Homo-oligomer: A and B are copies of this chain.
Amino acid sequence: MIVPVILSGGAGTRLWPVSRSAYPKPFMRMGDGQSLLYKTLDRALRLADGGTVLTVTGRDYYFLTRDEYANHPDADLDKLPFLLEPVGRNTAPAVVLAALHALEHCGADATLLILPADHLIRDLDAFVADAQRAAALAEDGWLVTFGMPPSSPETGFGYIRMGAEIAGREGREVAAFVEKPDRETAERYLAAGDHVWNSGMFCFRADALIAAAEKTCPDVLAAARACHASESGQSSPVEFAREAFLAQPDISIDYAIMERAKRVAVVPARFDWSDIGSWKAISDMDAETDSAGNRVQGQAIIVESENCYIQSDSRMVAAVGVKNLVIVDTGDAVLVADRERSQQVKIVVDRLRKDNHQAASFHKTVHRPWGSYTILEDGEDCKVKRLTVKPGHVLSLQLHNRRSEHWTVVNGTAKVRIGEREFLLNANESAYIPMNTVHRLENPTARDIHLIEVQCGDYFGEDDIVRLEDRYGRVQSKV
């Protein structure tokens, strides 16, 4: 049986300001409104025998990821178990842990289909067919990679040199994995036609993967077994002991297993593929442009400009007399980059992190298990937020030491507790929460509710939340 495993990690710093660590690349929405993560689940569900899809992701992304999954009409959340990483780790631990989990919970014949959550594939029929070819090879004990026939002499990917055809199957042996080449070498690969890009997608039986790990990286396997043994015992979400998790080596599945194992095969893909590695990749995606090659998502005015990609959430962007630019506006930050140099956007994020700047990690809209908030004003004398609470959700029972809050419901009906009082607050009604007063906000209705919160005080940090009870296990946490 095929058990897809979605690996959802990585900050996608080259896609700042849209991708940020608190809401990274897999959550990024494409032109059709679907996130990369949603699209990955969609692919996975087409192949999952019995509807089970494993997800390995960071603990901080658990609620967000579930929310994305819940949007899919075919998703049964009970069949979508999560393995939660206490911190980001490399792919070898993630994949080996997934294999151990699958052997225990999905059966000895589980064939894993490893899918990174931040790739874009549009020809789903071709993808399904290729994945089935890979699964057939995996059944025979091969460790299978998906190789992308190169369309350009790309120097940003690792390559796979293809070897002999595998008799009776549509796939080839892997002759060698090769490092990211220089331009000249990449051009030679492209011309020769015997090299494909290493896509980072794989297919293998769980038991075959474990058997290979036993030989190529016994240390990784031993550490993963110890970590697996530390599981909380719940079927989902699975949480690992932090110490045991961190004891695993930080190594990729490619280095730890694929490059060293025997019987490694490659299926040359017939589907289109992008790892959306940079703004250039997004701006290159085929979509309608104006006669000068400009493409706009959002609102923009373009005057005598060529080959620009402009994306703006809500603000007006004007481009005058410019060429080959990527302009991305997220309401709190704007990126202006040369299309061909958009890889260097990660340098921006490095600098923001060094300066401890909010815009490195958080968006104006911050997602929470119960919904989200958007910061409308962050002044010295007040902070103003727009809150959205999802149906049936509830914020923690909390108090603040350094601020009072004024809530005005602008849409829907909230259930509010302030001190010992509990009451309903309707649209166009407001409530006052004095400093140091226990309070709670709940959405008892079946649709989103919206509030404006005006905070008054002398400090408005998210760490001035004393949580007394929390449905989402955040009593110890600061956010």
Contacts and interface: CB of A to CB of B under 8 A. Distances in A.
A75 interface: no
A357 B411 CA distance: 27
Contact of A334 (B316, B427, B430): B316
A390 interface: no
B334 A320 contact: no
Contacts of A327: 334, 336
A334 B321 contact: no
Contacts of A381: 410-411, 427, 450
Interface in A330-365: 332-338, 340-342, 344-345, 347-348, 351-352, 357, 359
A280 to B, nearest CB: 11
Interface in A317-335: 317-322, 325, 327, 329, 332-335
Contacts of A379: 386, 410
A452 interface: yes
A452 B454 contact: yes
Q: Which of A344, A382, A430, A454 lies at the interface centre, i.e. has the most chain B CB atoms within 10 A of its CB?
A: A454
A341 B323 CA distance: 12
A321 B340 contact: yes
Contacts of A382: 408, 410-411, 450, 452
30 contacts: A17-B318, A303-B351, A304-B341, A316-B334, A317-B336, A318-B335, A318-B337, A318-B345, A319-B336, A319-B337, A320-B338, A320-B344, A321-B341, A321-B344, A325-B336, A327-B334, A327-B336, A334-B334, A376-B376, A376-B384, A379-B386, A379-B410, A381-B410, A381-B450, A384-B384, A406-B452, A408-B456, A410-B454, A410-B456, A430-B432
Interface of A: 16-17, 301, 303-304, 315-322, 325, 327, 329, 332-338, 340-342, 344-345, 347-348, 351-352, 357, 359, 376-377, 379, 381-382, 384, 386, 404, 406, 408, 410-411, 427-428, 430, 432, 450, 452, 454, 456-457
